[in-house]
Amino acid sequence: METTLIILKPDAVQRGLIGRIIGRFEEKGLQVVGLKLMRISPDLAARHYESHQGKPFYDGLVKFMTSSPVVVMALRGVGAIAICRKLMGATFGSNAEPGTIRGDFGVSNSFNLVHGSDASESAARELELFFGAGEIQELDRAIEGWVYDISSGEPE
């Protein structure tokens, strides 16, 4: 099982897409093990996007991410990072395939609705930034045997 960070960005929150986007992840079979509505501070945005500091879009990105509340989620599942990235679609809504979150709900190349960790290392770092001790839950779901083949004792 892998845990990843997903952020529903200000445009997703302002457009009233929270439930529809969370539903996409849950319908796929991923577990929501952490969830909160919050306002990202400029300091937190700077730490989260530190790898982009100095790039032409950095200031606008920080301004956008701090402009309105966001929803942060910890999602868990086998291959959760890759699954979430496929569900989100291409970075720019205008390029994203129909059936993906960005492809179905986005057209902007600036406002792309959702952020997802891109690797296990970044997921660990990002989850620590947004969730404190005890905020990510261990969850035994009765449906796991219907989401994964667990006949070997481990989810496939």
Over residues 77-94, the pLDDT tens digits come to 999 999 999 999 999 888
- pLDDT more than 70, % of the chain: 100
Residue 145 confidence (pLDDT): 87
Is residue 115 among the annotated active site residues?
yes
Residue 151 in domain: no
Can you give the pTM of this predicted structure? 0.93
Tell me, what's the pLDDT at 90?
95
The residue from 115, 117, 127, 136 that is catalytic is 115
Q: Spell out the SS3 assignment of 82-123.
A: HHHHHHHCCCCCCCCCCCCHHHHHCCCCCCCCEEECCCHHHH
In a domain, 142, yes or no: no
Q: Is residue 143 part of a domain?
A: no
Domain assignment of residue 152, yes or no: no
Q: What is the mean predicted confidence (pLDDT) over 120-131?
A: 97
In-domain check, residue 27: yes
- What is the per-residue pLDDT across 32-46, written as a single tens digit (0 to 9) for each? 999 999 999 999 999
- Of 38, 42, 37, give the one whose Cα is nearest residue 58: 42
7: CATH: 3.30.70.141
Range of the domain at 93: 2-132
